[in-house]
Structure formats: structure tokens, C-alpha cells
Structure 1
């Protein structure tokens, strides 16, 4: 019998952050079917299929949680509304990325999820430094990061966007515990 490590769970005022489960894949596929979501991420392909969501969930469940942690963002009464993940690149520091489905934009959910996840990273995971970047044409993501304590480094990197099929100017930021 295979036992799935459910990983940590984070509670905020309105949200539960937890490991994505296979039952979440159809909801993730539906929300990520919106090009406005995919084009603002580095790794999300476009178009985004059910198969992409199934593979994503499987990778999340197999993560080495000492290095990486991905959370489904669940809004009470709505189900999964987005994803937030910490990942360790081959070179550099721990990074965080996130997306919220378009029907849930403008409600402060990304900020609430990021604050909860960063508190967990500092207090439970014992992380002291996290980096993030937002595409230059996505200032709303920059505002989320500022509200959660990230500071601009002054560095602009060109990061790939799988959905756009090209590298995009990315404003880099840092958070210190």
C-alpha cells in the first residue's frame, strides 16, 4: 500500500494551504486554462490540459519537502483557488511563486496565502531568505510581494515563460526572515 505524505497544512483567516491532491487536478486544470494565468508564470504551459494538472499534482506529491514545498490554496466554500510553491533552483536561493485563478483576483488572497506561507517557512521550516520575481508586465504580483515584506534588489533577469514561449524581463525581490 502506498501512503501519500500529506505534508504541512497552513491555516490563515480565510485559507487553507495544503499539498495538492489528485482530486484537485480538475479544478487546477480549469483555472489554469486561462491564458492570463499561464502567461504570468515561468513553468505553466499553454494551453494547459488535464494531463498537465495530473502531472503537476503527481510532482507535488513526490517533492523532497526538505527542499521544496507546494501548496494548493483552498478558499472556504470555494475549493482550490490557486497554488503557491517554494522551490530550490539548481543555482541560487529558495524561491517562491504563486498564482490565483482570475475569478478570485482583487480579494487579497495571494497576499494572505503568501503571508501564511512565509510565516510557516520562517517558523517551521527555518528558512531565513527567500527570493521571488515578477514579470515586469505584472505589477499586481509585485504589490503582493511588497505587502508580504519583499524588497526589490534592483536586478532584472530574463526568465522563461513556457506559455509565452520566450524569456520575459523579471524584477527580482528578496525576503529576509
Structure 2
């Protein structure tokens, strides 16, 4: 059986992916309390406050590391700029999700974090396939996922977005190791 490191740290040229901690709640709330951030995710509410961040951090602390892994995305100066994680899908497959605070959009951080997280998922976690999806009105996320090696499956799912309080077309993608 694969023995997983409970708190892995992944380093890239500009970022560190590390376990989330309780002290991240205030910064997480500051960055995530942006309708443009939340509406591109399925699970983040908007508005997003410290209590929402604390609730998320408590849930992450009790995850089964064999099924779910979530990392803070840190940049050198500001610290936490977002989060990335693998969550079990309804079909039992690992599904990638991520978000970045608006000041860090368009700087290549998302693609760098996704590539690093996928390398960890392949080399340490033993995953050979990861699913992801992006809302059809968020083509920038599709570009990030394509840069990391994801391919479109041709499937479009209708997924609920908590921040939108509505369903949105979600273009599904797959990554194969």
C-alpha cells in the first residue's frame, strides 16, 4: 500500500504548494471574497468571509489523503495566492480544482501550480488519470489546463456554482500520465 506524506510541500520556480493551515483563513477570505473568483468555482460561496475559509480549512484537515489532497499556492512575497486540490468525483476519480486571487491572474501562476500538482499526483500519489472541468464562460481556465496537458473529452456537464446560485455549462477535460 502506498504510504502518503501527510503534509507534502512541492516547490516550483516561483511557487510553493504546501498544506493549508488555520492561519491562512484571513488571507484566503481576502482573496476569495471577489465575485469573479467564486463564480468560476463550484463550491465557493460569495460573499466569502473568514468563517467560510475556516469551515473549508476544517474540512481539509480531516480529508483522507489517499482520496483527496489540497494545497495552498504560495508566492514568495505575498504568501498565499490561491489553492489547488484533487477531490474525489462522483465517479470515484480524482478531479482537479484550483483558484487564484484576482491580483495573480494572467501571470502564469495557475499553469505552474497545475503542472507541479499533476507531477506530484503522478509520482507520489500514483494517479494516472485526473479529470478537470471549467465553466464555458471561463476560457482562461481551459487555456491553463491545456498548458498542463489536459485534453477536452467532448463532454459538457451542467454543474452547480454556489457563488452563482445557478448551474453552468462545464467543459470536461482529462489528463493522462
- After TM superposition, the score normalised by the length of structure 1 is 0.95
On the 8 A contact 2:7/2:18 being kept in 1, the answer is yes
Secondary structure of 2:168 counterpart? strand
| Aligned position for 1:63 | 63
Could you tell me how far 1:172 is from its partner in structure 2? 0.2
**Any residues of structure 2 matched to 1:64-79 within 5 Å, and which?**
64-79=64-79
5+ long unaligned stretches in structure 1: none
Could you tell me how far 1:6 is from its partner in structure 2? 5.5
| Aligned position for 2:46 | 46
| Aligned position for 1:100 | 100
5+ long unaligned stretches in structure 2: none
**Following the alignment from structure 1 to structure 2, what is the Cα–Cα distance between the partners of residues 124 and 42?**
27
**Any residues of structure 2 matched to 1:70-149 within 5 Å, and which?**
70-149=70-149
| Aligned position for 1:22 | 22
**Any residues of structure 2 matched to 1:161-172 within 5 Å, and which?**
161-172=161-172
**Following the alignment from structure 1 to structure 2, what is the Cα–Cα distance between the partners of residues 91 and 124?**
22
**Following the alignment from structure 2 to structure 1, what is the Cα–Cα distance between the partners of residues 28 and 70?**
13
**Superimposed CA distance per residue, residues 28-56 of structure 1 (whole angstroms, 9 cap, x where no aligned partner):** 00001100000000000111111000111
Query: Aligned-residue CA RMSD in angstroms?
Result: 1.0
**Following the alignment from structure 1 to structure 2, what is the Cα–Cα distance between the partners of residues 88 and 148?**
20
Secondary structure of 2:120 counterpart? helix
Q: Structure 1 stretches (4+) deviating beyond 3 angstroms?
A: none
**Superimposed CA distance per residue, residues 116-151 of structure 1 (whole angstroms, 9 cap, x where no aligned partner):** 000000001110000000000000000000000000
On the 8 A contact 1:159/1:167 being kept in 2, the answer is yes
Could you tell me how far 1:91 is from its partner in structure 2? 2.4
On the 8 A contact 2:74/2:80 being kept in 1, the answer is yes
**Following the alignment from structure 1 to structure 2, what is the Cα–Cα distance between the partners of residues 79 and 62?**
23
**Superimposed CA distance per residue, residues 44-78 of structure 1 (whole angstroms, 9 cap, x where no aligned partner):** 01111110001111111111100000000000111
Secondary structure of 2:56 counterpart? helix
